[in-house]
Amino acid sequence: MRDVAIIGAGITKFGERWESGLRELMAEAGLMALQDANVESKEIEMVYGGTMAPGRFIGQEHVAALLADQLGFRNVPAVRIENACASGGSALRQGYIAVASGIHNIVVVGGVEKMTDVNASEATTALGGAGDQEWELSQGITFPGLYALMARRHMIEYGTTEEQMASVAVKNHENAYRNKYAQFHKMLKLDEVMRSKRVADPLKVLDCSPISDGAAAVILAPLDIAKKYNDTPIHIVGSGQASDSLSLAERDSLTELKATQIAGKRAFEQAKLRPSDINVAEVHDCFTIAEILAMEDLGFYEKGKAAKAIADGETKLNSKLSVNTSGGLKGCGHPVGATGVKQAVELTWQLRGEAKDRQVNGAEVGLAHNVGGSGATSVVHIFKRSN
């Protein structure tokens, strides 16, 4: 296998993008990434596009060909990757495999979702397809309900409090405030989160990530030629993916995501690194409890210890470990197909030293963690600055 690097990164502003359609969002992010990489269109050999439910959200299928056409790659092979909210991370992994294998040299990986063109009920139905349609959605459970079950069980087993979960939202909104591409630019106070309307007890509105539009893209190349395009290529040193049961009821535990544990272990083993080597991490915080679970399942904290550590400030910007510097899904937004690629864009900027007001001092190694559904899919990538 060849070493693989990110040589270009691009992103749109996340949020309610009424002025732009799906194709415009992807073109905006893709062109930014191409310019960043100093790559010409004729050099692109493959396109992978992560998107979850464009058929539900905007009535558009066959998205890969549309995106390739919109980006000016009409004769380039293109494939859509659908893996629920892990579609972006899964697309990145497929692009990584394509370059590492030697089949392709220059690959575009994009992620996009246009979610705000439907009402809340239709969006909930579309997102519900990421769970077990027969045994969960049709029985009335929603994703806030599924994660509320995990949160309640975590509270029972480990003493986790609602205030500790709320501290995740406070931290991530503070980071989003510094990110011009983020959906929200309003800092939160703990009591604001605690007073917000309950959605599925113990989760409240401000424990939940929003409905968002947006796109992100990265350009991949073999590491040995990466500096031909960019002076600061970001080496992908580890990549892991794993699956678990689609239904929450079939899991061994409600307080751990086995797919995250396995994907993380595989990525760390490939990278020959440990959790203590990570300087900055983007983890999947679709709900505040999800960040707590991720920090434990990835090995940053023992089970039951992450909630207190986050509340104590150990994962704030330039603390022990800087987590979700982009604002995460909670503050930056969650256009589901774009999220996994956005994480890679944020870490590329962090490891280059280009994250401006939210820059992690001396960042050398970063980790991205992207989850599909209630944990049935998990993708973990580890990145290192190439000297």
- What residues act catalytically? 85, 334
- How many Cα atoms sit within 13 Å of 99 on the Cβ side? 31
Q: Quick one: tokens of 77?
A: 């092979």
Across-strand partners of 370? 379
Crossing angle of the two packed helices 288-297 and 143-158, in degrees rounded to 10? 60
In angstroms, rounded to a whole number, what is the distance separating the alpha carbons of residues 193 and 70? Answer: 41
In angstroms, rounded to a whole number, what is the distance separating the alpha carbons of residues 325 and 179? Answer: 8
In angstroms, rounded to a whole number, what is the distance separating the alpha carbons of residues 121 and 118? Answer: 8
In angstroms, rounded to a whole number, what is the distance separating the alpha carbons of residues 191 and 243? Answer: 37
In angstroms, rounded to a whole number, what is the distance separating the alpha carbons of residues 361 and 59? Answer: 44
| Alpha helix (H) residue ranges in the chain | 22-37, 54-57, 63-70, 87-100, 120-128, 143-158, 162-176, 190-195, 223-226, 258-271, 288-297, 306-311, 328-332, 336-352
In angstroms, rounded to a whole number, what is the distance separating the alpha carbons of residues 26 and 92? Answer: 15
Q: What is the DSSP code (8-state) at residue 83?
A: B
In angstroms, rounded to a whole number, what is the distance separating the alpha carbons of residues 281 and 367? Answer: 5
Residue 112 CB contacts under 8 Å (≥ 6 apart), including other chains: 22, 25, 26, 29, 49, 50, 51, 63, 67, 214, 215, 216, 335, 337, 338
In angstroms, rounded to a whole number, what is the distance separating the alpha carbons of residues 158 and 165? Answer: 13
